Amino acid sequence: MAINSTGLQPGQGANEGNNNIQGQLSSEVRDALSLISLRCVECLRLYPALEAGRTPRYRCDCGSVLDVEIAFQLPSRRAQQSGDAFFRLATEQEHMPAAGAVWRQIFDDRASTPPIWSISTDKLLFDYSGVWRYRDLILPAPERYIVSRPEGNTGLYPVGIENCGAGRAGHRQLGIYAGLERFFLKHEGENPTGSFKDRGMTVGVTMAQMLGAKAVACASTGNTSASLASYAAQAGIESIVFLPAGNVAGGKLAQSLAYGARAVQIAGDFDAAMSLVEQVCNEQGIYLLNSLNPFRIEGQKAIGFEILQQLDWQAPDWLVLPAGNLGNISAIGKAFREAYQLSLIGHVPRIAAIQAGGANPFYRSFMQDFAAYRPVQADTIATAIKIGNPVSYPRARRVIKACDGVVEEVSDEEILAAKAMIDRAGLGCEPASAATLAGVRKLVAAGIIKRDELVVGVLTGNLLKDSKTGIPQAVTGEAIEPTLDAVRSVLLQ
Ligand SMILES: Cc1ncc(COP(=O)(O)O)c(C=O)c1O
Ligand SMILES: [Zn+2]
């Protein structure tokens, strides 16, 4: 079946002959998008979010990637109370402590709604979502377009030697392994489809709805496709996923197919699939939902906002995460910068990005002070970060420079050892996520992260995503007779 038999109509839109996916946009969508600009990360050129008669823009004319810039507005009731209705977020905005208190109060009020949402109260749904709770800083979408499960509200587990608390002796092992007194793990594998991608996807598919897209697509090492397929199915939009054949963990592939995505297997790696999907989307007018799309990044900022809120708006010293295509570090870095500019927090955390040694172009570039960048042929057991030419490199480089961050690499053996620790502590995660703990341990041992600093590590995906790598594949021993005596003799061995 040809791709444009999915219900897409190439050429539809304001400009005949152009594969414009924007149908007739409603005035509320036009109004919402008029608040948004897209700025090139390299040459700083500014574009409107909506350019009449053209397909959505994912890149600057210079070829680099784009960041969303929004004129942040306080919700109107509070704006009247505070008398300070409008925040223009330029790159260097003055720190305004009073405004920070107002924003914190808004987000805390929304978070205090009961942690069960009812289908009869849409309002509760948006406030309960760990993404849309921060909607004023993410996307001013008209409510009827929002596609939400809802997502977010993931656990922030205290696992440090000092802060793990009573009843967490198992979790304390992770603090001992890392060598940290105050250490938290943010488990993004607790999102609806089991990875952090849901935070970007709820915003990406909402944008697709606003633009009237009939089909959405992505290239994926598995988690993005599972998330895309789920949110697109909820919205009733066709989804197409480009997968590197043989390099997608079973659980992720199963999700994508079960949710009804059309899977296009590419006999190549993720980087080849990524390049193809970008070309196909531009050619066919399909809405592209990789993290190249700057609205995906906006949604993933919510990981940063939610961590800050769970820490009662105390910024950690370090945020550590695995890095592949470099979308997530770009998103969390942007969230921290904006939170600081809005005085939600008093300092910007340092970020440590951890790459697999066999898929480490960002690490190599960092080691040369970002003087050069060269893609690599990626090879690691952590398939989610098996990426040799990360799309968001310019965004991530800027984040590391701005926050005095670091990039570290870890071997597959270190990843597997860290994964075994996380699994046995009862949290569990997929292999790529364990790069976080492996990286923290290495950075603490090197004295870069200090033992008494406050550190948050992100676990990006659920244990069940990959039931093969680093997990015992069989119950040891023979099956025994179903008698008490037989059980006793086994347990007493
Ligand atoms: C589980 C997991 N961890 C980490 C990453 C890396 O995130 P990013 O590609 O945004 O750097 C991915 C990306 O697919 C992932 O699925
Ligand atoms: Zn540019």
Closest Cα to atom 9, ligand 1: which residue?
A: 325
Calculate how far, in angstroms, residue 243's C-alpha sits from the geometric centre of ligand 1: 14
Residue 474 included in any domain: no
What single DSSP character describes residue 330? H
Tens-level pLDDT at each residue, the chain (493 residues): 343 333 333 333 323 334 566 668 999 999 999 999 999 999 999 999 988 777 899 999 999 999 999 988 887 644 444 433 333 343 334 456 678 999 999 999 999 866 555 666 556 678 889 999 999 999 999 999 999 999 999 999 999 999 998 889 999 999 999 999 999 999 999 999 999 999 999 999 999 999 999 999 999 999 999 999 999 999 999 999 999 999 999 999 999 999 999 999 999 999 999 999 999 999 999 999 999 999 999 999 999 999 999 999 999 999 999 999 999 999 999 999 999 999 999 999 999 999 999 999 999 999 999 999 999 999 999 999 999 999 999 999 999 999 999 999 999 999 999 999 999 999 999 999 999 999 999 999 999 999 999 999 999 999 999 999 998 887 777 899 999 999 999 999 8
327 lines ligand 1 (CB under 6 A): yes
Q: Give the Cα separation of 390 and 379 in Å (integer).
A: 14
Q: Give the Cα separation of 325 and 336 in Å (integer).
A: 19
Specify burial of residue 236 (Cβ count, 10 A radius: 0-12, 13-18, 19+). Answer: exposed
Q: Are residues 174 and 245 in the same domain?
A: no
pLDDT score, position 475: 79
Q: Are residues 356 and 225 in the same domain?
A: no
Q: Are residues 166 and 143 in the same domain?
A: no
175 lines ligand 1 (CB under 6 A): no
Q: Looking at 235, 262, 294, which one is the last position of a domain? A: 294
325, 395, 433: residue to mutate for ligand 1 pocket, most atoms within 8 A of CB: 325
pLDDT score, position 123: 62
In the numeric block, which tokens belong to residue 318?
Answer: 């370090």
pLDDT score, position 22: 63
Q: Are residues 202 and 74 in the same domain?
A: yes
Q: Give the Cα separation of 201 and 209 in Å (integer).
A: 12
**Rounded to whole angstroms, what are the CA distances from 39 to 63, 141, 286?**
12, 20, 22
Q: Please state whether 462 falls in left (phi above 0), alpha (psi between -120 and 50) or beta.
A: beta
Residue 482 included in any domain: no
154, 193, 195, 225: residue to mutate for ligand 1 pocket, most atoms within 8 A of CB: 195
Q: Are residues 317 and 397 in the same domain?
A: yes
Calculate how far, in angstroms, residue 430's C-alpha sits from the geometric centre of ligand 2: 36
Q: Looking at 264, 294, 324, which one is the last position of a domain? A: 294
Q: Give the Cα separation of 391 and 404 in Å (integer).
A: 21
Q: Are residues 23 and 102 in the same domain?
A: yes
Evaluate whether 176 touches 449 at the Cβ level (below 8 Å).
no
pLDDT score, position 89: 41
Residue 127 included in any domain: yes
380 lines ligand 1 (CB under 6 A): no
Secondary structure of 409-472 in the HEC alphabet? EECHHHHHHHHHHHHHCCCCCCHHHHHHHHHHHHHHHCCCCCCCCEEEEEECECHHHCCCCCCC
Taking the CA of residue 433 as reference, the ligand 1 atom at the shortest distance is 3
Q: What is the dihedral of CA 447, 453, 458, 462, to 10 degrees?
A: 90
Cis omega (within 30 of 0) for bond into 150? yes
Nearest to 117 by CA among 132, 106, 131, 128: 128
CB neighbours of 80 closer than 8 A, spacing ≥ 6? none
Domain of residue 27, residue span = 3-151+194-294
pLDDT score, position 115: 57
Q: Give the ranges where 74-222 is alpha helix by DSSP (H).
A: 76-82, 97-111, 122-128, 169-178, 197-211
Residue 487 included in any domain: no
Q: Are residues 397 and 248 in the same domain?
A: no
Strands in 13-165 per DSSP E: 36-40, 46-48, 66-73, 86-88, 156-158
pLDDT score, position 83: 39
Helix (H, G, I), strand (E, B) or coil at 198: helix
Residue 331 included in any domain: yes
pLDDT score, position 12: 35
Task: Look up the CATH number of the domain holding residue 175.
Answer: 3.40.50.1100
pLDDT score, position 122: 59
Model pLDDT for residues 147-174, shown as the tens digit of each residue: 999 999 999 999 999 999 888 999 999 9
Q: Are residues 208 and 96 in the same domain?
A: yes
Number of structural domains (the chain) is 2
Residue 328 included in any domain: yes
Helix (H, G, I), strand (E, B) or coil at 217: strand
Q: Are residues 439 and 388 in the same domain?
A: yes
Q: Name the strand (E) or helix (H) holding 233.
A: helix 223-235
In the numeric block, which tokens belong to residue 115?
Answer: 């942690």
The tokens 């993004």 sit on which residue?
188
pLDDT score, position 166: 87
Calculate how far, in angstroms, residue 42's C-alpha sits from the geometric centre of ligand 2: 5
Q: Are residues 265 and 378 in the same domain?
A: no
325 lines ligand 1 (CB under 6 A): yes
Taking the CA of residue 197 as reference, the ligand 1 atom at the shortest distance is 16
Residue 489 included in any domain: no
Residue 300 included in any domain: no
Q: Looking at 294, 320, 355, which one is the last position of a domain? A: 294
330 lines ligand 1 (CB under 6 A): no
70 lines ligand 1 (CB under 6 A): no
